[in-house]
Amino acid sequence: MKQEYTLTAYTEDQMGLLNKITIMLTRRKISIESLNISTCEIDKMYRCTLVIKETFEIARNIALQIEKIIEVFKCYFSTNEEIIWKQMGLLKVRTSGFINEENINHLLKKYNARFILIEKDFTVFEATGQEDEINNLASELKNFGLIEFIKTARIALTLTNEAFDI
């Protein structure tokens, strides 16, 4: 049965690495649901977080295959139950759409959102949470005149006390 798996690869900063990973997934006709690359707790190393929807066997095989890439030190794969993960969204709404609306504060509390910028024509909100929470907030803000919406890729940490060590 297919489910979401988060692949976490610890890598060197090398040109072409992302291309190697995407070619590997493309050959297997696997779509990337989310992709994040950032620095991590180890100096001069990067943490690449990919989300795919696949079976256990395929996710495990892909993690093992990614580890075979020279620039990759280790690749883990985890289910949503084995990690803590968040995303962030920025939402721009017409200020006139909610300025006299009393429900906006309740809506922002419900989705753990906050004001970032208030201008005459528009207001920007920031929301942090699970993907469906951010999508639901965007959907509800359409009633108030949603202008723009963007969300980040998933960032995740494992729920164990173990860490990657070179």
The pLDDT score that the predictor gives to residue 149 is 97
% of the chain exceeding 90 in pLDDT: 78
The residue ranges of DSSP E strands in the chain, in sequence order, are 3-11, 34-39, 46-54, 72-79, 83-94, 113-118, 122-129, 146-151, 155-158
The pLDDT score that the predictor gives to residue 49 is 95
**In the predicted model, what is the mean pLDDT of residues 91-118?**
87
The pLDDT score that the predictor gives to residue 14 is 82
Topology of the domain covering 3-83 = Alpha-Beta Plaits (3.30.70)
Question: What CATH architecture is 85-151?
Answer: 2-Layer Sandwich (3.30)
The pLDDT score that the predictor gives to residue 50 is 96
The pLDDT score that the predictor gives to residue 123 is 94
- Which is more confidently placed, 98 or 16? 16
Quick check: 77 pLDDT over 80? yes
Q: Which structure tokens are listed for 134?
A: 């951010």
- Which is more confidently placed, 90 or 13? 90
Contact 64, 72 (CB under 8 A): no
Q: How far apart are CA 37 and CA 102, in angstroms?
A: 39
Every domain of the chain with CATH number 3.30.70.260 lies at 3-83
pTM score, whole prediction? 0.85
Contact 47, 120 (CB under 8 A): no
Every domain of the chain with CATH number 3.30.70.1150 lies at 85-151
Quick check: 166 pLDDT over 70? no
The pLDDT score that the predictor gives to residue 165 is 66
Q: How far apart are CA 120 and CA 139, in angstroms?
A: 23
**In the predicted model, what is the mean pLDDT of residues 64-89?**
94
Question: Residue 57 CB: number of other CB atoms within 10 A?
Answer: 8
